[in-house]
């Protein structure tokens, strides 16, 4: 609940903190703009004064359409999987706290601790010989799900722990609701903010995942970040930058939309 804040003169401390925060934002955003601009200049060395062009962006969209679509597909599939797997898991962890569930929490976090290369290596040595699976995009999906699942679980569990699940469910049960009615009608709606935040993390992390995908992909299942790394290395900087520009154009609306959605939901909760 918000304590009413009276309109006060901003203290010097406020301005100092604001300046600091703005500096941090500048540090994070300025290179992004530089990179995007480089993607539409004719020549990186001459910069904007040398002329603007869309040829690099066009080249990226023709040569790399496949990887771009595959990354989007992977992110969406990863989200669906983490929702289906993670929400029930978070529910179990919220309802029971014993040695067993603690072990499960430790397990979930392991793919974040173990370096992505190692997880990919492990998958390859185990399933490398299973032709069909190895060459399909599902192989990469598995890696992504392992890595992003703890973030979804963490996010949903945080919200579930903060609401009084027990009372809510007791109330519903006493009114005659069965398990699925309780789960879908009471638990899920109350976790919306956690689900949204988790979804944001999962989509973001999947779109940008590189460490594992570098080893897991095949020529037919190349993803956006892998293609991006390649263009930065072997093509002109302008093409790499154009590719980054395309990446941003895809991801920024996605992130903003998800953030607005989660803001809207958390605001609605504050009645």
Partner 1 sequence: MERRRLIQSTAAMTAAAVLPAPFSAFAQAARALCYNCPTEWADWGGMLKLVNQKLNISVPPDNKNSGQSMAALIAEKNNPVADITYLGGQFGPQAREAGVLSPYKPQRWNEIPDGFKDKDGFWFTIHSGTLGLFVNTAALRGKPVPRSWQDLTNPTYKGMIGYLNPASAAVGQVGVVAVNLALGGNYENFDPAIRFFKNLQANSPIVPTQTSYARVISGEIPILLDYDFNAYRGQHTDKAPVQFVIPSEGTVSLPYIMGLVNKGPNADNGRKVLDFVLSDEGQRHWANAYLRPVFASAMSAEARSRFLPDSEYKRTQAVDVFKLASAAKVIADRYQKEVG
Partner 2 sequence: MRERIQLAALMTPVAILFVAFFLLPLAQLVAIGGSGKLGWSAYLAVFTETRYLKSFSATIALSVAVTIFTLLVSGIAGVFLERNRFRGRTLLTAMLTLPLAFPGVVIGFMVIMLAGRQGLVPDITDLLFGERLVFAYSMAGLFMGYIYFSIPRTILTVMAAAEKLDPRLEEAARSLGANSFMVVRDVILPALKPAFLAAGAICFATSMGAFGTAFTLATRINVVPMVIYTEFTLQANVAMAAALSFVLGGITWAALAFARSLSGSSVAASG
Q: Given the complex with partner 1, which of 160 and 239 has the nearer CB atom?
A: 239
Cα angle 148, 180, 79 (rounded to 5 degrees) comes to 20
* Residues contacting 46, CB < 8 A, separation 6+: none
Q: Which 51-70 positions form the footprint of partner 2 (CB under 8 A)?
A: none
Q: Which of 231, 234, 233, 245 minimizes the C-alpha distance to 38?
A: 245
- Return phi, psi of residue 18, to 5°: -65, -45
Residue 19 near which of partner 1, partner 2, none (CB within 5-8 Å, type-dependent): none
Q: How far is CA 239 from CA 60, 220, 226, 230, in A?
A: 7, 21, 14, 10
Nearest-CA neighbor of 187 among 212, 211, 167? Answer: 167
99 binds partner 2 (CB under 8 A): no
How far apart are CB 137 and partner 1 at their closest, in Å? 7
Name the binder of 35 from partner 1, partner 2, none, CB < 5-8 A by kind. Answer: partner 2
How long, in residues, is the chain?
271
20 binds partner 2 (CB under 8 A): yes
Least distance from partner 1 to the Cβ atom of residue 218, Å? 5
Identify which range of 38-46, 48-56, 62-70, 184-192 contacts partner 2 by CB under 8 A: 38-46
Measured from the CB atom, the residue of 123 and 197 that comes closer to partner 1 is 123
Give φ, ψ of 8 to 5 degrees: -120, 160
Contacting partner 2 within 153-212 (CB under 8 A): 153-155, 157-158, 161, 179, 197, 201, 204-205, 207-211
Contact yes or no for 78/145 (Cβ under 8 A) = yes
Task: Please report, as ranges, the residues that interact with partner 1 according to CB under 8 A.
Answer: 44-45, 63, 65-67, 69-70, 73, 76-77, 79-80, 83-84, 124-125, 128-131, 134-135, 137, 180-181, 184-185, 188-189, 218-220, 222, 226-227, 230, 232-237, 239-240
């Amino acid at each position: 609940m918000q304590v009413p804040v009276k309109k006060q003169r901003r203290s010097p401390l406020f301005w100092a903190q604001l300046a600091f925060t703005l500096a941090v934002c500048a540090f994070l955003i300025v290179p992004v703009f530089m990179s995007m601009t480089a993607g539409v200049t004719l020549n990186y060395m001459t910069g904007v004064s040398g002329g603007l062009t869309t040829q690099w962006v066009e080249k990226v969209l023709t040569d790399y359409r496949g990887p771009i679509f595959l990354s989007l597909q992977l992110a969406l599939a990863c989200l669906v999987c983490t929702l289906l797997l993670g929400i029930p898991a978070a529910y179990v962890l919220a309802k029971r706290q014993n040695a067993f569930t603690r072990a499960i929490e430790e397990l979930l976090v392991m793919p974040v601790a173990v370096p992505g290369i190692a997880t990919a290596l492990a998958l390859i040595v185990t399933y490398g010989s299973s032709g069909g699976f190895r060459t399909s995009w599902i192989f990469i999906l598995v890696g992504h799900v392992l890595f992003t699942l703890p973030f979804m679980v963490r996010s949903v569990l945080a919200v579930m722990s903060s609401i009084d699940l027990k009372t809510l469910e007791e109330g519903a049960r006493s009114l005659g609701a069965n398990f699925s009615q309780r789960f879908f009608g009471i638990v899920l709606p109350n976790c919306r903010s956690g689900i949204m935040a988790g979804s944001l993390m999962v989509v973001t992390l999947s779109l940008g995942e590189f460490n594992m995908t570098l080893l897991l992909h095949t020529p037919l299942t190349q993803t956006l970040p892998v293609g991006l790394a390649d263009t930065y290395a072997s093509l002109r900087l302008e093409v790499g930058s154009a590719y980054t520009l395309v990446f941003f154009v895809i991801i920024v609306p996605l992130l903003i939309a998800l953030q607005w959605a989660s803001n809207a939901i958390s605001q609605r909760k504050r009645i």
